[in-house]
Homo-oligomer: A and B are copies of this chain.
Amino acid sequence: MNASPPNAAPSAAYERLADRFRRIATIGECGSMLGWDAAAMMPPGGGAARGDQLAVLAGLAHGQLVAPEAGDDLAEAEQGLPADPWRDANLRLMRHAYVRATALPATLVEAMARASSTCEKIWREARRESDFPRVRPYLEEVVRLVRETADALAPVLGLTPYDALMDGYQRGVRAADVAPVFADYEAFLRRALPEVEARQAALPAPLRPVGPFPVDAQEAFCRSLSARLGLDFAHARLDRSAHPFSGGTATDVRITTRYTEADFTQAVLAVVHETGHALYERGLPEAWARQPVGEAAGMAAHESQSLIVEMQACRSDAFLSWLGGELYRTFDGDAAPYAPENLGRLWRRVERGFIRVDADEMTYPAHVILRFRLEQALIAGDLAVADLPGAWNDGFRDLLGIVPPNDAQGCLQDIHWYDGAIGYFPSYTLGAMAAAQLMAAARKAVPTLDAGLAQGDLSPLLGWLRTHVHSQGSLLGFSDLLRAATGKPLDPKDFEAHLTARYLG
């Protein structure tokens, strides 16, 4: 199915809805740009006003979405005959957005915004001091409100409360689908991790390139690398921010990274990752721009696109053989650290650690599995916030055999829960698994894929992704998208096979 023009004239009600959602999306673009600015450009004194600006935009978009006319037009448009799969999907997604938005009383939305904003501020102090009791009452309030939100959404969506939360990040994915996938992976990890560690211990220790690496040179390298991967800088920028991210809009993507003179690793790998996100946005179907069906298919789908570029493509032996030479030509010095085998050992090192964002691709899912279980228990009321640190440490010991020395390296490390984002974490690992599954399918379909990577050429892979993922927008849910692209729903075996080949091959 392609993003072809609809094959029957849409109703007037549908056209009004399309206008409304175009307006909503355009307001969203303004917010997205201002969010990028806040992280990458804004002087500190602009922060308070920026918060107001984003709140006003969010309120305007929400007002457009929950207007009674939207409900009337939906009811009328849904009476029309099925005409075009894209338009039908678009209408379903409009209804879905409307149902989610109208299910929540304004008082709850505002209470949630206030509570998570306060909790997030306290969390920053609590993490710095590793003082969980300090933030506990605030997190309790956030969890209480998230549960209330989940309870309000569950009946109108026909989902369990936790699934209703997950649905907000990756539509259509349920805990019952995720749990067996994660269980399968857990079993694999328990078996494979010690083997990988033993194998790794027998290899020479990786050499680190020795800097300093001037930040301007790193930035120029990163920009040129991102362009080489396919990002068109007539529609994109690369800037700096405290935490790398990809933002902006489909025709004006803004990616960021951070630099340290001592090492280019973090900057380069973050740019590669964010470039994956950006290429997805750039490849969305233009004919459906600013319509729900033209958006990316969810957070797990988005993460699959950053990880297929970063983890599958750019950390492959083939790509490293090209990238090592480029890095050496740029930064000079001793050649040995830039040898592909060394870069592989350096950038694909498996290590049990406490911090999710620093984890390697093999142990990363363990971090997610722990959070997935704990957040389900929090929402179900089976775990009290007060018991979170203990449950965290027990779970961590069980999964990875080590215990965080303090809560800053344990249950205080991530912003998500403290900011009200519960149900988000699974997307990271679903994305990693989907990336492996898509890569396996692409490799079968595109014989030149690895030869391209060995020349720093992502275009064979990118062409396949554009056809099978990017151009599909939100036409299909996560599971159907994978089925259409790879012939099966999400299957952890491809990810496990990828890890086995890379670390035990």
Contact = CB atoms under 8 A, between A and B. Distances in A.
A314 to B, nearest CB: 23
Contacts of A50: 252
Given A43-B236, A236-B43, A252-B42, A30 B56 contact: yes
Contacts of A232: 45
A256 to B, nearest CB: 13
Contact of A30 (B23, B34, B234, B236): B34
Given A49-B252, A251-B48, A30 B43 contact: no
A37 B45 CA distance: 18
Interface in A33-70: 33-34, 37, 41-46, 48-50, 52-53, 56-57, 60
Contacts of A52: 26
A55 to B, nearest CB: 8
A215 to B, nearest CB: 14
A345 interface: no
A251 B49 CA distance: 7
A437 interface: no
A237 interface: yes
A45 B237 contact: no
Contacts of A44: 234
A474 interface: no
B56 A235 contact: no
A188 interface: no
A430 B310 CA distance: 59
Of residues A37, A48, A236, which shows the largest number of chain B Cβ atoms within 10 Å of its Cβ?
Answer: A37
A29 B53 contact: yes
A249 interface: yes
Contacts of A42: 252
A89 interface: no
B43 A29 contact: no
Contact of A43 (B48, B49, B250, B252): B252
Contacts of A26: 49, 52-53, 56
Contact of A237 (B34, B41, B250): B41
A26 B34 CA distance: 13
A46 B236 CA distance: 8
Interface string A1-39: 000000000000000000000010011011001100100
Contact of A49 (B45, B49, B233, B249): B249
A47 to B, nearest CB: 9
A43 B278 CA distance: 14
A366 to B, nearest CB: 40
A46 B34 CA distance: 14
A172 B426 CA distance: 61
Contacts of A34: 30, 33-34
A275 to B, nearest CB: 15
Given A30-B56, A56-B27, A234 B45 contact: yes
A46 B247 CA distance: 13
A430 B207 CA distance: 68
> Which 8 A-B pairs give the minimum distances between C-beta atoms?
A46-B252, A45-B235, A45-B234, A26-B56, A49-B251, A30-B53, A44-B234, A45-B251
Given A41-B237, A44-B234, A50-B252, 12 more contacts: A27-B60, A29-B53, A30-B34, A30-B57, A33-B37, A33-B53, A37-B37, A43-B235, A43-B252, A45-B251, A49-B250, A49-B252
